Amino acid sequence: MGNPVNDIVELDARRLLCPMPVIRLQDCIKQLPADARVRITCTDPGTLHDIPTWCRLNGHRVLTTTEQQDDYIFLVHKDADGS
């Protein structure tokens, strides 16, 4: 991996059920510098609500949400003030 602020960190949370996709995202975000981006791919439809809510509560932003077949893909930006 190059510079995590410029690169997009890929996180595979397919076949994981609530709350595991959010926990994986949280653990990943904690290790990254501000302004990093994470693309998390999930199969649990509950993540359509859970990930945006977690981001809002923790000071991060969902930049995009995409559905591809059975996958829900979120591009999350770690804001400077977020944990």
Does residue 25 sit within a domain? Answer: yes
Domain total of the chain: 1
pLDDT score recorded for residue 80: 80
pLDDT score recorded for residue 6: 74
Residue with tokens 């190059």: 2
C-alpha dist (Å) from residue 9 to 2, 28, 36: 10, 9, 8
Maximum CA extent, the chain? 34
Does residue 3 sit within a domain? Answer: no
- Intervals of the chain under pLDDT 70: 1-5, 81-83
Select which of 18, 28, 42, 55 is catalytic: 18
Does residue 83 sit within a domain? Answer: no
Residue 78, CB half-sphere, CA atoms under 13 Å: how many?
23
Q: Is the dihedral of CA 26, 75, 46, 53 positive or negative?
A: positive
Q: Tell me which residue range forms the domain holding 45.
A: 8-77
**Can 18 be counted among the known catalytic residues?**
yes
Does residue 14 sit within a domain? Answer: yes
Residue 5, CB half-sphere, CA atoms under 13 Å: how many?
5
pLDDT score recorded for residue 32: 96
Does residue 29 sit within a domain? Answer: yes
pLDDT score recorded for residue 2: 54
